[in-house]
Structure 1
Amino acid sequence: MKPVDEMDEMLRRAGARWRADQRGPAEPDVAFVVSGGRKRRRWVSALAAASVAVVAAGVLAVAPGDVPAANGVAASVDQGEAGPRNRPGMAGTDRAPSADGPGAGVGGVANEGLLVGVGDLVRVSGRVIGVPGKVPVYCAPLAVPVVGYAKGQEPAPSCPAGYAVALYGADLDRIAGVTTVKGVRIGDATFTGIWRGRSIDVREQSAMVAPKPEALPELPCAAPEGGWRPEPSNVSSPAVNAFLAAHAGQAYGPVIYYPYGTSRGAPVVTMVGVAHGDLGAFRDAFEKVYSGNLCVAPVLMSRADDERVSNALASTVNAKGLGIYASSGAGMTGGPASVSMIAYTEQVKSALTPIGLGLIRVEPQVVPVR
């Protein structure tokens, strides 16, 4: 046997041993469900990407959580007695949250408290970069490619001008853990001061406040009496796919939940959100083609809404002067979509208004101090 053949055989055997040691996938086979579907155009930070279990073909898989549903969008669950329109496995309201008007809806209401203007007292927390002879800058948490530089060959830290905030009065000598690479100092801290429209007159500085991890939402439906039961689902069937495609303007999902964990044989629940129309009527129609554990809940956006908003937000990421560096779609709860930026200013608000502020949650780095 030739040496190259021996190496191939060793790799083949090692691969076989590795595969044999892996745990089997949880039911159902979500990989089959999500294969070959529509692609989502998303540019997200590493933190946001890590919070999504599966996003493809319009199907989401969500691991069990122990916190309330994010943003309160899909958390309207009636734990009481089920009525004609509030059966087990259906959230207890017939109407989805309203997002009518430029500032209405879940996103628009929350966003208003994050607006900053020149002269406002603000706070920012994160990475600061100090280039010799220049004013230190805060730099947004941009997604960066992972490159394995040899020791001593890594480039000096830098920040694109469109995503940097000058910190007048910042003192890097007071920041614990500051390091120096190629003469450039980098560290992490929190700065409070007066917003000047892409710079801050620093009044106070302190240790960095670590961002809180984004928790996964709970299943927004009460379990039936006796709990969810292990049973097969036809969520990947042509009939279900065709039904949801035909109702793309009304419904969102499906989202796959594992309410009792992801072990083999554990119950799996399919959640379908309804953004427009009556939940009970939608469920009655959907159950004619779907079989398996089902949760029908109100959501903010339908598939069509999400597609429109996601495409519109993708173009704002590259808009010069806005300081927007990441956006994502409706995610696990059916909305709102999220947009990450340096600061939520009137200029940014004007750019997002045509998309629908009620469908968007802004996530600025520079926040007002009230």
Structure 2
Amino acid sequence: MGARTRISATALAVATLTSCAAADHRPRAQTTPGDQGSLSMSVALGDLPLLHDGDQAVATGTVHTEPGRPPRFCAPAPVLGTDTNPCRFGVPITGIDPEGLPTPVTLRGTWRGNTLEVSTREPNPPTAPDTDISVPCPTPTAGWKPGNDADTKQLHDYVHSHPEDFRPLRVGWPNGFPTTTTTEAAARVPQVMVVEVAHGDPADVRKALEPLYQGNLCVIPAAADSLSIADQQHVRDVTEKAIEPFMADPTTGIYATTTADKLTVDLVVLTPDLAARFTTLPLALITLHPWLHPA
């Protein structure tokens, strides 16, 4: 892979927030993680998945009914064992008989008056894999070494002692994740540690890592628009504190967050009024992921 020339909006935003180790020669403004500056302005509200009154909308979830109340369409939010409301994160629905609907179900309709007026039931979308197990390296001439029990401690220690140079390690399974029920056979399924190099020469990095790890290695340049472990930490430092008051406010409908190169915020629906409240956030570092979204 040639020299990386593309710079993502996320990388630019992080560059305005942090300064990294001396080995990282990318220009960065001298601001602190708490100085959000005008980051929110770099993401126009029109670029967000807003749901306006009268728009067509679609989502996949479950339908909850209670006697004397309109049925509710529920987002796949975690439910605490002590929560007495099984559909705290959802919206009222009309236009469909809730009896006999499968779980989950995909419904499409018109968003009007904070209610989904259902017009059609659609096939559920395919479930995306939770984990990337691909191996982005060619198979060695002699094939991948069998086995998946090599000690990774030294490899992890090295990578995490150079957080500005690497992305988080991940495990790849070139022949697929072990599915055999025989313990001995499962232990022979090849596993590959995928090492993404954010800064440095992958060939030199591989030479440094080979004495530390006896298993299969795949060492590649990180994608140009991806962030190192250090930069991911900077994203967490800025965004998690900023989102806290919104998560504590039940009117936002936020039910989960995850952080990698950006903070992904899962929420029920993103209306223009709610988006206007979010303009105080560093939106260049955040992905707003509404469950009920424009069709």
Measure how far apart 1:348 and its partner are.
4.6
CA–CA distance in structure 1, aligned partners of residues 286 and 168 of structure 2: 18
CA contact (8 A) 1:123 1:367 kept: yes
2:294 counterpart residue number: 368
CA–CA distance in structure 2, aligned partners of residues 264 and 199 of structure 1: 52
CA–CA distance in structure 2, aligned partners of residues 258 and 271 of structure 1: 10
**Residue 106 of structure 2 corresponds to residue 171 of structure 1:** no
Identity %: 22
Q: Cα distance 1:220–1:350, how it changes in 2: closer, same or farther (>3 A)? A: farther
Deviations 1:10-42 (A, max 9, x none): xxxxxxxxxxxxxxxxxxxxxxxxxxxxxxxxx
CA–CA distance in structure 1, aligned partners of residues 248 and 286 of structure 2: 17
Give the counterpart letter for 1:265 in structure 2: R
Q: 62, 66, 78: which one pairs with 1:131?
A: 66
Q: Cα distance 1:258–1:164, how it changes in 2: closer, same or farther (>3 A)? A: closer
Figure out how many residues of one structure are paired with residues of the other and give that number. 246
Which is worse superposed, 348-357 or 137-146?
348-357
Measure how far apart 1:342 and its partner are.
0.9
CA contact (8 A) 1:327 1:337 kept: yes
**Residue 199 of structure 2 corresponds to residue 199 of structure 1:** no
Give the counterpart letter for 2:95 in structure 1: A
**Residue 252 of structure 2 corresponds to residue 322 of structure 1:** yes
2:55 counterpart residue number: 120
**Residue 126 of structure 2 corresponds to residue 212 of structure 1:** yes
**Residue 270 of structure 2 corresponds to residue 344 of structure 1:** yes
Instruction: Name the SS of the counterpart of 2:174 in structure 1.
Output: coil
Give the counterpart letter for 2:209 in structure 1: E
Instruction: Name the SS of the counterpart of 1:296 in structure 2.
Output: strand
Summarize the alignment of residues 229-244 of structure 1 with structure 2, pairs less than 5 Å apart. Answer: 229-230=145-146, 233=150, 235-237=152-154, 240-244=155-159
**Residue 221 of structure 2 corresponds to residue 306 of structure 1:** no
CA contact (8 A) 1:122 1:195 kept: no
CA–CA distance in structure 1, aligned partners of residues 213 and 49 of structure 2: 44
Measure how far apart 1:325 and its partner are.
0.8
Deviations 1:292-341 (A, max 9, x none): 422233152322333444563473544432211112233xxxx5554322
Q: Structure 2: where are the runs of 5+ without partners?
A: 14-38, 179-185
Measure how far apart 1:285 and its partner are.
7.0
Measure how far apart 1:368 and its partner are.
0.8
| CA-atom RMSD in angstroms | 4.1
Give the counterpart letter for 2:128 in structure 1: E
CA contact (8 A) 2:92 2:115 kept: yes
Give the counterpart letter for 1:244 in structure 2: V
Q: Cα distance 1:157–1:233, how it changes in 2: closer, same or farther (>3 A)? A: closer
Summarize the alignment of residues 1-370 of structure 1 with structure 2, pairs less than 5 Å apart. Answer: 92-95=1-4, 98=8, 99=10, 100-101=12-13, 112=47, 114-145=49-80, 158-160=86-88, 163-167=89-93, 169-172=94-97, 175-177=98-100, 188=105, 190-196=107-113, 198-200=114-116, 202=117, 204-206=119-121, 209-215=123-129, 216-217=131-132, 218-230=134-146, 233=150, 235-237=152-154, 240-261=155-176, 262=178, 263-275=186-198, 277-280=199-202, 283=205, 286-287=208-209, 290-292=212-214, 293-297=216-220, 298-299=222-223, 300-310=226-236, 312-313=239-240, 315=244, 317-330=247-260, 335=261, 338-346=264-272, 347-348=274-275, 351=278, 354-355=281-282, 357=284, 360-369=286-295
Give the counterpart letter for 2:255 in structure 1: Y
Q: Cα distance 1:296–1:93, how it changes in 2: closer, same or farther (>3 A)? A: farther
Give the counterpart letter for 1:170 in structure 2: G
CA contact (8 A) 2:194 2:219 kept: yes
Give the structure-1-normalised TM-score. Answer: 0.53
CA–CA distance in structure 2, aligned partners of residues 349 and 199 of structure 1: 20
CA–CA distance in structure 2, aligned partners of residues 259 and 206 of structure 1: 38
CA–CA distance in structure 2, aligned partners of residues 309 and 352 of structure 1: 17
CA–CA distance in structure 1, aligned partners of residues 104 and 67 of structure 2: 14
CA–CA distance in structure 1, aligned partners of residues 276 and 135 of structure 2: 32
Give the counterpart letter for 1:266 in structure 2: V
CA–CA distance in structure 2, aligned partners of residues 317 and 354 of structure 1: 12
1:71 counterpart residue number: none
CA–CA distance in structure 2, aligned partners of residues 206 and 304 of structure 1: 44
Instruction: Name the SS of the counterpart of 1:171 in structure 2.
Output: coil
CA–CA distance in structure 2, aligned partners of residues 353 and 274 of structure 1: 33
